[in-house]
Amino acid sequence: MLDPRRLMRAKLWARRPPSMRMVKLVFGAIALAALVLGIDYFGLWPDWAQADRVPRRLTPQPINAGS
């Protein structure tokens, strides 16, 4: 369901829509992201540009106080 805040935002957007420049910018950013995802999906992205997986949490190592 739409809350009143969203309805007010839609009303303001209908009265003053974004400029064509802003629409082109948003669609350009979406197209660029889709292009990068497509290149990565087909395995054409170079190895040096791929990120390595890092563990989410680092487990603390026990401290040997006696040694």
- The structural domains of the chain, with segments of one domain joined by +, span 18-45
| Contact call for residues 36 and 42 (beta carbons, < 8 A) | no
**More confidently predicted of 22 and 58:** 22
Average pLDDT, the chain: 86
Strands (E), 17-61: none
pLDDT at 66: 60
Instruction: Return the sign of the alpha-carbon dihedral for residues 18, 22, 24, 28.
Output: negative
pLDDT-derived band at 65, boundaries 50, 70, 90: low
DSSP assignment of 11-28 equals HHHHHSPPPHHHHHHHHH
Global pTM value:
0.60
Determine the residue type at 64.
N
